[in-house]
A and B are shown apart, each in its own frame.
Chain A
Amino acid sequence: MISRDKMLWMLRKMLEIRRFEEKVDELFKANLMWGTCHLYIGEEATAVGACAAIEEKDYITSTHRGHGHCIAKGGDLNKMMAELLGKETGYCRGRGGSMHIADVESGNLGANGVVGGGIPIATGAALSSKMKKDGRVTLCFFGDGASNQGVFHESLNLASIWKLPVVYICENNQYGMSVPVQKASAVVDIAEKSRAYNIPGEIVDGNDVLSVYAVVKKAVERARKGEGPSLIECKTYRWMGHSKSDANVYRSKEEIKSWKEKCPIRRFEEYLINNRVASEQEIEKIKREVEEYIQKAEEFALKSPEPSIDGISDGVYA
């Protein structure tokens, strides 16, 4: 059984992701944010359910749509918002931006601007853990698009033959930019690709935080016991366009609407209320707290200083 505290933590993290992304969207539209970004709205249950299944010492690698993973891994919203605004106080001192947020100390080995780029890195982190016997597990997040990349196949094969403690979590949000998964992948279910590498492959409803948690937890336990990697496919959907430049012409309003009806947050709230885990008032209170946190993060980021130009070459080499 999952404790009440844990379930409320899950709700809080999902709300933090949702509100963070909405705020980012707002700041973009107000021309306060630079570059591009890839919003995670609609996929919250996947990051949160998965990260709820690991311990603080464990590692994650993330994708170009990485804000959700970062928050679920315990990321500080002040530092995240500051990074997105390119500020010195950001996670990467304004050098990384949306696609490169990382905090190696807390086990976040980084978002990644290259589709599939994090997959061998996660596998390497798992190799470290195996060699050092430090008991850590790595969660490797990637999208359905990345499962067609060469490094996906090389890494799963290697992790399987070496029995590395890594859990590959495919967030199948149905589209690789504009191309639907059916047109890009030879198999409909990405989880099937596990068979080629002789590892467990499971499909889970990526909009159901408790299901994601349960399935990932099992895979994490298996990994921690030294039995090797698993591949978990979370079926989910991104509500927004691929990035801020996406006019969203490749999918119908009906399709988007039907997925919005499967909102992972509303669904979990209903679960909590119906099962008397939390009252509406309690949920409202969490929402207000999250709202405050978001406002504070925005203020912190807006007030933070820009990096100094003098330090432009800092950190190229150790």
Chain B
Amino acid sequence: MAQITYIQALRDGIREEMQRDENVFIMGEDVGLYGGAFKVTQGLLDEFGEERVRDTPISEAAIAGLAVGAALTGMRPIAEIMFFDFTTLTMDQIINQAAKIRYMFGGKAKVPMVLRAPMGCGTGAAAQHSQSLVALFAHIPGLKVVMPSTPYDVKGLIKSAIRDDNPVIFAEHKLLYWTKGEVPEGDYIVPLGEADIKRKGKDVTVIAGSIMVPRALEAAGILEKEGIDVEVVDPRTLVPLDEDTIMESVIKTGRVLIVEDDCRNNGWGAEVAARIAGGEAFDYLDAPIMRLAGLDIPIPYNPKLEKKAVPQVEDIVDGIKQVLL
């Protein structure tokens, strides 16, 4: 199988869906000739033309809102927001409109759109270009929230997201864009709502999403040398959340560390922890559920400070050791 980058896999997924369904189109700032700020859409303009690869003005609220209107009337728009931070400019259209239209209209309408954006810190872009914010959207009924961690997943998940009849928030991590992984050629999907066990282990379950998956895997590799066998569960989608896979893993290992690429306060890890504590896995816990998340601060510019703001591999190693104490 070919080793390709996350960006290439994502682009392939979008391209294949655009080939498969003429109602799929992409719009956003600089997605055309420029190929997107992170080059996700590079080459798509040549293949599909300006009608289906639409450069927009800098108008995030309208980009999201036009996607809502287009989706409501039979298209399948993909709206690219240049940085996940700028989804804050789309809030009315996503939270009050896209998420609610189907329910508000008595279940008689659908809004099949994807809002995708690069999130996360680690590039020195500081507070307004580095947030993750997925928990914000995961809180809203009517939205689905996806955060792929590997090239294989990103291709399969973008295809599912495009085919889904609901508004899907698709959070790509900037630091994952240039990571490589095995991706089969041609059509396959990764269903929304299916977690993936990225590494099997018996001593402790690490639930990590997005950029925290490769970091958790690296931590697991380090601990393996110390005789600790770590299981890494990647929920892949926060909504819907695959509770079964998480529970099974916790029941097996009895110990949990949740690792988030976002600040701690009211983050998605709290939701996962509450479900574990309130569910069938509770009786199997041999230690308190631990959370490792970012600090409750805006992302700072200085590289040392930035690194400290969200969990790194060594933090995960320490966290796992604490759960095992």
Contacts and interface: CB of A to CB of B under 8 A. Distances in A.
A93 interface: yes
A113 B166 CA distance: 21
Contacts of B59: 154, 157-158
Interface in B93-108: 93, 96-97, 101-108
Interface string A274-318: 000000000000000000000000000000000000000011111
Contacts of A161: 57
A117 B73 contact: no
A100 interface: yes
Given A117-B96, A315-B102, A315-B103, A109 B61 contact: no
A105 B61 contact: no
B140 to A, nearest CB: 10
B51 A131 contact: yes
Interface stretch (B7-15, B39-47, B62-70, B309-317): B62-70
B44 to A, nearest CB: 16
B56 interface: yes
A121 B56 contact: no
B70 A128 contact: yes
B110 to A, nearest CB: 4
Given A151-B61, A158-B62, A317-B142, A124 B108 contact: no
Interface in B34-60: 51-52, 54, 56-57, 59
A90 interface: yes
Interface in B72-109: 72-75, 77, 92-93, 96-97, 101-109
Given A93-B107, A104-B109, A120 B61 contact: yes
Interface in A105-145: 105, 109-110, 112-114, 117, 119-129, 131-132
B109 A121 contact: no
Given A102-B105, A131-B51, A316 B142 contact: yes
B62 A100 contact: no
Given A127-B69, A128-B70, A318-B166, A158 B57 contact: yes
A59 interface: yes
B108 A151 contact: no
Interface residues of A, number: 46
B136 to A, nearest CB: 18
Contact of B65 (A100, A110, A119, A316): A119
Nearest to A123: B66
A33 to B, nearest CB: 18
B141 interface: yes
Query: Size class of B's contact patch?
Result: 35 or more
B102 A316 contact: yes
Given A131-B25, A151-B62, A93 B70 contact: no
Contacts of A109: 69, 72-73
A120 B70 CA distance: 10
A150 interface: yes
A123 B62 contact: yes
A147 to B, nearest CB: 15
Contacts of B144: 317
Interface string B139-163: 0011010000000000000000000
B65 A92 contact: no
Interface in A26-75: 59, 61
Contacts of B93: 117, 120-121, 151
B107 A110 contact: no
A123 B65 contact: yes
Which of B54, B97, B104 has the most chain A CB atoms closer than 10 A to its own CB? Answer: B104
Interface string A70-102: 000000000000000000001111111000101
A100 B54 CA distance: 30
B165 interface: yes
Contact of B69 (A102, A128, A150, A314): A128
B96 A113 contact: yes
A121 B105 contact: no
Contact of A127 (B66, B101, B103, B164): B66
B57 A314 contact: no
A110 B92 contact: no
B206 interface: no
Given A110-B101, A125-B73, 5 more contacts: A94-B106, A109-B69, A109-B72, A124-B65, A151-B93
Closest 5 CB pairs of A and B: A124-B69, A120-B65, A315-B107, A154-B62, A92-B106
Interface of B: 23, 25, 51-52, 54, 56-57, 59, 61-62, 64-75, 77, 92-93, 96-97, 101-110, 112, 141-142, 144, 164-166
